[in-house]
Chains A and B, each alone.
Chain A
Amino acid sequence: MNLTFATAERVLAQLRADRRTIALVLVLPCLLIGLIAWMFDGTPVLDQFGPMLVGLFPLTVMFLVTSVATLRERQSGTLERLMTTPVRKGDFVAGYALAFANLALVQALVVVGFATLVGMDVAGPIGLVIVVALLDAILGCCLGLAASALARSEFQAVQMMPAIIFPQLITCGLIMPRDQMPMLLEWLSRVFPLTYAIEAMQSLARGDEWADIQGAVGVIALFIVGAVVLGVLTLRRRTA
């Protein structure tokens, strides 16, 4: 456990040294939400779709940041070195997840705060919007960690985003309500985590309470655990 914290502390120190990435992580989603708020000024679009975007942007941004960060660790030889130290694979993955969860929390607060500022009026409790946005961001981190195991180069790592996030985006119910989709696609959307994130946010936008979204939140939490386990399993101590 100590080594998990030591690793999280080290990753956070690296993040702190990289001010530009922090700025991008915090400012970029706000900028995009600002554009939408401006575009649909005077309509209820932001109230309906704002919460979903607030959940979606952190997921994609954190996915990219984590998958590149862990790939960099593999390529710089530091991962190989870590594998010769007492650090366990679980410490490594949990350390990364913990560090990025910190960043995700700041991001969720800033993005939800900004969206409210530019006129997003959520019918449900705003606190729950922040919780779901945070879980989405953590999910993005953990998926990024697992995906980076599949990538052997930066080119491949960047492609993991469209490969893993886009199919979820298409079927999550944002483009077309899921009950109007062909049956097969509707089933497919059921096994993607983003579906539940969007479902929870749609529900909060309608004014639902914790009792209505706890099922979806539970599924997101399960996906987070699953992605962490996958991240640990795909880490190899011995390499060719």
Chain B
Amino acid sequence: MVNNVPGAELAIRIRGLSVERGGQNVVAGLDIDVPGGSVVGLLGPSGSGKTTLMRAIVGVQDRVTGTVDVLGLPAGTPSLRRRVGYVTQEASVYRDLTVVQNLSYFAALAGVPAARRRETVGRVVAEVDLGGHEKQVVRTLSGGEVSRVSLAAALVGDPELLVLDEPTVGLDPVLRRDLWSLFRELSRGGRTLLVSSHVMDEATQCDRLLLLRAGGLVADVTPTDLLRQTGAPDAERAFLALIEGSAAEEAAR
């Protein structure tokens, strides 16, 4: 199910990826291509290996076999750390610091020169719609606000590839819509985004969808093809049809 777009530069190229955790292969023999400049949705039930796959891509997953090339280099290459931004599922920012203190630190780590840090922080604060909260200690923000600080911390370095693990969890529909339009805008600017989600209506906002189940790839399709192939009226039911179909197939074997 590898989809090769001729001529398009691949942002991520995965061949035969397996990851062992706790004595089990949580990801088994995965082949995935993510074209550069696209927004790719990573969908799948809880425990299907989405986070493990993302951790392998950003180079912090141990016990990995197979090939994972990111922006043309093996995953985990030190020079990639400046070019790839990763947002974990649980917001990973310093809750005892203010929004600006957090973002300034991550900007410094991303190599933003001190003279441009204030401006950069201002830009990302606006992008994630946190204006007015700059001086607030993160601990005192709401859950959705904290997760946007976490997202902003990945945006400060203006990375070429963004790996976002459930970035819209716990956000209201208005914020979700705004974030997805930000993702689209980033991709228009040539950035590649790999976004995991379990909110199915978000799937229609992606250029491509990767469907994982039990550590294997069930589908690699465009949202339109997903609906056509399954004949389902919406993404949620199409997703269920595919997951149940693949489970039934496995049971029959």
Whether A81 contacts B92 by the Cβ 8 Å rule is yes
- Taken residue by residue from 81 to 121, chain B's Cβ proximity to chain A (1 for < 8 Å, 0 otherwise) reads as 11010101011111111000100011011110000000000
Residues on B with C-beta less than 8 A from A83 are 60
Interface range on chain B: under 10, 10 to 19, 20 to 34, or 35 or more?
A: 20 to 34
Whether B60 contacts A238 by the Cβ 8 Å rule is yes
**Would you call B21 an interface residue if the criterion is a C-beta within 8 Å of the partner chain's C-beta atoms?**
yes
Distance A76 CA – B96 CA, assembled complex (angstroms)? 12
Whether A78 contacts B109 by the Cβ 8 Å rule is no
Whether A18 contacts B86 by the Cβ 8 Å rule is no
**Would you call A225 an interface residue if the criterion is a C-beta within 8 Å of the partner chain's C-beta atoms?**
no
- Taken residue by residue from 6 to 25, chain A's Cβ proximity to chain B (1 for < 8 Å, 0 otherwise) reads as 11011001100110000000
**Would you call A82 an interface residue if the criterion is a C-beta within 8 Å of the partner chain's C-beta atoms?**
yes
Whether A237 contacts B59 by the Cβ 8 Å rule is yes
Whether B59 contacts A6 by the Cβ 8 Å rule is no
Which of A77, A86, A238 lies in contact with B109, CB distance below 8 A? A86
Which of B60, B106, B157 lies in contact with A80, CB distance below 8 A? B60
Whether B96 contacts A77 by the Cβ 8 Å rule is no
Whether A6 contacts B62 by the Cβ 8 Å rule is no
- Kindly provide the distance from the CB of B170 to the nearest chain A CB, expressed in whole angstroms: 16
**Would you call B63 an interface residue if the criterion is a C-beta within 8 Å of the partner chain's C-beta atoms?**
yes
- Taken residue by residue from 57 to 92, chain A's Cβ proximity to chain B (1 for < 8 Å, 0 otherwise) reads as 000000000000000000011101111111100000
Tell me the chain B residues, 39-70 only, with Cβ under 8 Å from chain A: 58-64
Chain A: residues with Cβ within 8 Å of the partner, total of 26
Residues on B with C-beta less than 8 A from A76 are 92, 94-95
- Kindly provide the distance from the CB of B117 to the nearest chain A CB, expressed in whole angstroms: 10
Write the chain B residue with the least CB distance to A73. B94
**Would you call B78 an interface residue if the criterion is a C-beta within 8 Å of the partner chain's C-beta atoms?**
yes
- Kindly provide the distance from the CB of B97 to the nearest chain A CB, expressed in whole angstroms: 6
Distance A29 CA – B81 CA, assembled complex (angstroms)? 42
A86-B110 CB under 8 A given contacts A10-B101, A238-B60: yes
A81-B88 CB under 8 A given contacts A14-B94, A240-B63: yes
Distance A7 CA – B104 CA, assembled complex (angstroms)? 11
Whether A2 contacts B86 by the Cβ 8 Å rule is no
**Would you call B216 an interface residue if the criterion is a C-beta within 8 Å of the partner chain's C-beta atoms?**
no
**Would you call B144 an interface residue if the criterion is a C-beta within 8 Å of the partner chain's C-beta atoms?**
no
- Kindly provide the distance from the CB of A200 to the nearest chain B CB, expressed in whole angstroms: 36
Distance A87 CA – B106 CA, assembled complex (angstroms)? 10
A80-B97 CB under 8 A given contacts A2-B108, A10-B105, A237-B60: no
- Kindly provide the distance from the CB of A89 to the nearest chain B CB, expressed in whole angstroms: 11
Whether B110 contacts A85 by the Cβ 8 Å rule is yes
Distance A80 CA – B153 CA, assembled complex (angstroms)? 14
Whether A84 contacts B62 by the Cβ 8 Å rule is no
**Would you call B74 an interface residue if the criterion is a C-beta within 8 Å of the partner chain's C-beta atoms?**
no
Whether A10 contacts B81 by the Cβ 8 Å rule is no
Distance A133 CA – B137 CA, assembled complex (angstroms)? 34
- Kindly provide the distance from the CB of B55 to the nearest chain A CB, expressed in whole angstroms: 8
Write the chain B residue with the least CB distance to A78. B92
Whether B94 contacts A10 by the Cβ 8 Å rule is yes
**Would you call B122 an interface residue if the criterion is a C-beta within 8 Å of the partner chain's C-beta atoms?**
no
Whether A240 contacts B21 by the Cβ 8 Å rule is yes
Whether A239 contacts B60 by the Cβ 8 Å rule is yes
**Would you call B76 an interface residue if the criterion is a C-beta within 8 Å of the partner chain's C-beta atoms?**
yes
Whether B137 contacts A6 by the Cβ 8 Å rule is no
A18-B78 CB under 8 A given contacts A10-B101, A85-B109, A238-B60: no
**Would you call A3 an interface residue if the criterion is a C-beta within 8 Å of the partner chain's C-beta atoms?**
yes
- Kindly provide the distance from the CB of B15 to the nearest chain A CB, expressed in whole angstroms: 19
B residues contacting A by CB (< 8 A) are 21-22, 58-64, 76, 78, 81-82, 84, 86, 88, 90-97, 101, 105-106, 108-111, 137, 153, 157
A residues contacting B by CB (< 8 A) are 2-3, 6-7, 9-10, 13-14, 17-18, 76-78, 80-87, 236-240
Task: Please list the 4 inter-chain residue pairs (A to B) with the smallest Cβ-Cβ separation, ordered nearest first.
Answer: A77-B92, A6-B108, A238-B62, A81-B92
Given A82-B109, A84-B84, A237-B76; 9 other pairs, CB 8 A cutoff: A10-B97, A18-B96, A80-B60, A81-B153, A84-B59, A84-B81, A85-B110, A238-B60, A238-B76
18 inter-chain pairs at a CB distance below 8 angstroms, sorted by A residue, are A2-B108, A3-B108, A3-B109, A7-B105, A9-B105, A13-B101, A14-B96, A17-B96, A17-B137, A84-B59, A84-B60, A85-B81, A85-B109, A86-B109, A86-B110, A238-B61, A238-B64, A240-B62
